[in-house]
């Protein structure tokens, strides 16, 4: 199918992009990698008055640690993360592990991290990574910019805290420092598929104990889920088998999966428990190494 007619804009600055977005009273959308928006338009699940293609805006492809935070600009592709030596460092391991598990090489070449988070698919992998790592979403609009804590960003399936006319310019993650690491575990039916279930873990260690823990779940609820009870259960404790098993049990309890073609709810909940256990063990070991 062809999309219904829309106006196409290709601004060359963020200021120009938000000025155009502001003209359409919520009936214009940003086009980043197009890997989710184009199918939606072609299938006519979405009709828009205008598309604002941000790919010609310079300076949105930053992937670097600056001023104590990892900055991921709005045009950083999944592929950039997959190939980044920075994200192979232990402290950013949750990102480095998630990137190659997203979709297939064609989608990874074009799709963006910020686009994925803005799209807010409950089966999106980056959403859980960002929840676990305590990210902030930085936005711009004609009215000015703001910073949204990721815990407040996802409001439901494909629904976020973004206002009409607002775009994401970057995502920032606090640098957890030396003794930190993470893991991303994903079960998919075949390579390139969305998650049957996924678990993101991000730990900072201090004197052999877990100083802070981030745990989040993919594909087992109406949005990416921050498993706060599991995080609290492991924080402040040594990552012993018992402490890890208790956190994993609580993570499974936080999941809210449905029976579907990918498996039963009970099966998915058990996958979450096992993945959380493995992720915590791996992250604690990598942080201590
Ligand atoms: P676009 O398609 O350009 O936009 C998506 C939505 O986000 C639109 O509403 C758009 O307006 C909005 N948006 C984009 N950028 C911004 C911005 N800067 N500010 C405000 N709004 C913005 N994802 C996974 O996580 N895991 C998978 O396994 C996976 N498998 C896939 C398999 C296939 C075959 C395909 C086609 C997609 C798959 N995806 C998967 C989705 C993929 O990761 C997309 O790249 C991602 O969801 C959207 O990123 P994008 O840059 O392509 O955004």
Residue 260, beta-bridge partner list: 263
Q: Which atom of ligand 1 is nearest to the CA of 126?
A: 25
Residue 35 Cβ inside 6 Å of ligand 1? The answer reads: yes
Q: Are 275 and 185 in contact (CB under 8 A)?
A: yes
Burial per residue of 231-252, b for 16 or more beta-carbon CB atoms within 10 angstroms, e otherwise: bebbbeeebeeebbebbbbbbb
pLDDT for res 191: 87
Residue 37 Cβ inside 6 Å of ligand 1? The answer reads: yes
pLDDT for res 197: 98
For residue 149, the CA-to-ligand 1 centroid distance in Å is 20
Residue closest via CA to ligand 1's atom 18 equals 168
In whole angstroms, give the CA distance from residue 180 to residue 97: 14
Q: Which phi and psi (to 5°) does residue 143 adopt?
A: -85, -5
Per run of 10 residues, the mean pLDDT along the chain (length 289 residues) is 92 98 95 97 92 98 96 98 97 98 97 98 98 98 96 97 97 93 96 94 95 97 98 97 98 97 96 98 92
- The number of beta carbons lying within 10 Å of the beta carbon of residue 12 is 11
**Best probe residue, ligand 1, of 10, 11, 27, 35 (max atoms within 8 Å of C-beta):** 35
Domains for the chain: give ranges and CATH numbers. 7-53 (3.30.43.10), 63-173 (3.30.465.10), 180-288 (3.30.390.50)
For residue 170, the CA-to-ligand 1 centroid distance in Å is 15
For residue 252, the CA-to-ligand 1 centroid distance in Å is 27
Residue closest via CA to ligand 1's atom 53 equals 115
**Best probe residue, ligand 1, of 94, 119, 160, 162 (max atoms within 8 Å of C-beta):** 119
Residue 226, beta-bridge partner list: 216
Q: Which atom of ligand 1 is nearest to the CA of 195?
A: 28
User: Tokens at residue 14, please?
Assistant: 């963020």
For residue 168, the CA-to-ligand 1 centroid distance in Å is 13
For residue 285, the CA-to-ligand 1 centroid distance in Å is 32
């Amino acid at each position: 199918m062809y999309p219904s007619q829309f106006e196409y804009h290709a601004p060359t600055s963020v200021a120009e992009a938000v000025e155009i977005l502001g003209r359409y009273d919520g009936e214009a959308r940003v086009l980043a990698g197009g890997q989710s928006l184009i199918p939606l338009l072609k299938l006519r699940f979405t009709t828009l008055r205008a598309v604002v293609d941000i790919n010609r805006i310079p300076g949105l492809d930053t992937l670097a640690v600056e001023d104590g935070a990892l900055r991921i600009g709005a045009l950083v592709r999944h592929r950039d993360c997959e190939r980044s030596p920075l994200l192979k460092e232990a402290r950013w391991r949750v990102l480095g592990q998630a990137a190659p598990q997203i979709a297939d090489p064609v989608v990874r070449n074009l799709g963006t991290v910020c686009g994925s988070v803005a799209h807010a698919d409950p089966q999106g992998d980056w959403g859980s990574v960002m929840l676990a790592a305590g990210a902030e979403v930085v936005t711009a609009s004609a009215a000015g910019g703001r910073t949204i804590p990721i815990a407040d960003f996802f409001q439901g399936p494909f629904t976020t805290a973004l206002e009409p006319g607002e775009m994401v310019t970057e995502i920032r993650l606090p640098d957890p420092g030396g003794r930190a690491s993470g893991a991303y575990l994903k079960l998919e039916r075949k390579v390139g598929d969305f998650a049957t279930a996924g678990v993101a873990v991000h730990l900072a260690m201090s004197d052999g104990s877990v100083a802070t823990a981030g745990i989040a779940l993919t594909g087992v609820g109406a949005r990416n889920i921050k498993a706060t009870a599991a995080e609290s259960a492991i924080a402040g404790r040594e990552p012993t088998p018992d402490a890890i098993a208790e956190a994993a049990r609580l993570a499974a309890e936080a999941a809210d999966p449905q029976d579907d073609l990918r498996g039963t709810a009970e099966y998915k909940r058990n996958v979450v428990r096992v993945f959380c256990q493995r992720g915590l063990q791996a992250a604690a070991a990598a942080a201590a190494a």
